[in-house]
Amino acid sequence: MRQVRRGPAASPGQAGYGGAPPYSGGVPQQPSYVDGGGRGPGDSYDSGYNTGQVYGSPGGGGPGGPGDGFYEPRPAPNWRRRIKVTAITVVTLLVVTSVGTYFWADSKLNRDVDLSKVIDRPEAGEGTNYLIVGSDSRKGMSAEEKKKLHTGSAEGKRTDSMMILHTGGGAPTLISLPRDSNVTIPSFKGSDSGKLYPATGRQTKLNAAYAEDGPELLVRTVEANTGLHIDHYVEIGFAGFANIVDAVGGVEMNIPQDIKDTKSGADLKKGTQTLNGEQALAFVRTRYALRGSDLDRTKNQQKFLSALANQVATPGTVLNPFKLYPTMSAGLDTLVVDKDMSLFDLASMFWAMKGVSGGEGKSMNMPIAGNSPNGNLQWNTAKVKTLVNELKNDDPVTVSGN
């Protein structure tokens, strides 16, 4: 290894490195490192290493310098500002999500019913009256689904259940209209043809009005036979009903008796249990296995729909997007409503039905006097008149049904 001589630098002209002559094509003369930088004591340059200065720590921020550390202390976090920013962010997300959900849900409503086609309507009273219809529509159902739900394969659609829900300043009232109710078909205008059909005094079952000319004639017939103004129309088919029940994870019901009905497919035991979509549809359609037939069936339909509304309007469903969106999608895709129905109206209807199930309202059948000569159920005219007057004035209902 080459040895380097330490000591005073050679003066100009002095031999370097062992008396060798100055540089003349050999090894160049090396600078002296007296001050660590190749300069003599009189030079002003200082690399900073001798004083402990380090890059990034001005003024000797290294050990022994004024800062005596590598970093300055961090300021304490401003928690008040962080909380404020977080709150604003959460509120903004909620608003954006809510607005988006509203427009998404609104776009799914099938506003196919035009109540402006209904003629000779009674004057509107206090509060709001919804005509809620369960139809036997099999639209969109596969052959396998029809078999599973015991719906059969009949073409077209008919009303399987009909109810009037009244909401207003007081407790809500839910009134079932038995499908076998005896009614007079009034004059009406065809929903598609626009042709005026005069009244002939023809009496038939209430569900025949729907089968003859759809929702518009059904509304016209209900209004003409009761004198009550219908504000909104809501209809749901078999598939939609079952899908909603499954979307909320089933509905808990207290079955009053063992039910075995081959026509509806019901095979239920007495007691409290959770019904899935298939079981629920069978339960609300059962009539032949019940002593009161259609009258008992309407009572079961009221109980179930109220329980379903109560299940849907719970925090576990409303605040859980994994339940809320499937439930809304299952229901809104198959709901048929009138052209003036808003999501607010629909939500009000569900909350009112929840109130009925919670004991805040009243559920009943349309008062029946007995059978008419043609074998249909005849309404009690006096009681119906009193009931309608109370609903029009938004008074508490004192009339009882069957």
Q: Encode pLDDT of 103-135 as tens digits.
A: 677 777 889 999 999 999 999 999 999 999 988
DSSP string spanning 104-169?
A: HHHHH-EEEE-GGG--SPPPP-SSEEEEEEEE---TT--HHHHHHTT----SS--EEEEEEEEESS
**175 in helix, strand or coil?**
strand
From the CB of residue 7, how many other CB atoms can be counted at a distance below 10 Å? 6
Rounded alpha-carbon distances, angstroms, from residue 129 to 5, 132, 214, 392: 111, 10, 19, 9
Is residue 200 predicted with pLDDT exceeding 80? yes
The answer to whether residue 30 is domain-embedded is no
The answer to whether residue 11 is domain-embedded is no
The answer to whether residue 67 is domain-embedded is no
Beta bridge partners of 316: none
The tally of domains found in the chain comes to 1
The answer to whether residue 242 is domain-embedded is yes
Residue for token digits 């219908």? Answer: 230
- What is the separation of C-alpha 64 from the centre of its chain, rounded to a whole number of angstroms? 66
- Domain containing 167: what range? 111-393
The answer to whether residue 6 is domain-embedded is no
pLDDT at res. 396: 92
The answer to whether residue 331 is domain-embedded is yes
Q: Which two tokens stand for residue 227?
A: 């004198």
| pLDDT tens-place string over residues 49-96 | 444 444 444 544 445 445 455 566 777 777 877 787 788 887 777 666
CATH of the domain at 147: 3.40.630.190
Rounded alpha-carbon distances, angstroms, from residue 299 to 68, 114, 256, 365: 85, 29, 11, 7
Tell me the C-alpha distance between 70 and 41, whole Å. Answer: 31
Percent of the chain with pLDDT over 70: 73
Q: Which two tokens stand for residue 89?
A: 């962010």
Residue for token digits 């089968």? Answer: 211
Higher pLDDT, 391 or 87: 391
The answer to whether residue 167 is domain-embedded is yes
CA angle 381, 387, 392 (to 5 degrees): 125
